Structure 1
Amino acid sequence: MNYSGEWDIFKSVLDNFWEAFDFSNDKNDLWINKRFKNQINDVLDKVSKTAVEEGKEHYYVNEVVQPFFDQAAKDFKEYIKDYIDTEE
């Protein structure tokens, strides 16, 4: 069974996701981005391999990974909002 086409699609989705975090103009943003990537990179590799093995790339991207990142972004925004509101 050859999943190279599916792997290429899934890898492309993940690569496009990482590009959204490319803040190449500021060293602090790069440091934060690298730290974030290092913490989740191994897990995303495992998820992507599992998705390809199961032939469920769309499921893992749309039902597992993306909802988590959407929730994480929402939580981060709320955290920052609460932090900023308490600083003023």
Structure 2
Amino acid sequence: MDEVLTAALRDAVFDRLDYLDRLAGESDQHSKAALADTEIVRLTYAFRALLAEHSSDERGRCKQCSGWLRSRRHPCSVWNIAHRHLLTGS
């Protein structure tokens, strides 16, 4: 059952992202402005929540990526991807 729920969650998220990509790419300027007014706040909130989950602990390790058997230095890949896409534009 977990696999079905995981697949449904993944598909729903990617479907939403595809929908937003289509709207941003195919809409007129007025519709794009309306889209920006509603969706940018939601996306930045989601991004901040994701980054908060991947913040560093007192040892400088990612709280989310580190576990009992492994520890990942901060910044982890989530922070590196955020930096790359939000700040360097690649």
- Tell me the TM-score range normalised by the shorter chain: 0.3 to 0.5
TM-score under structure 2 normalisation? 0.34
TM-score under structure 1 normalisation? 0.35
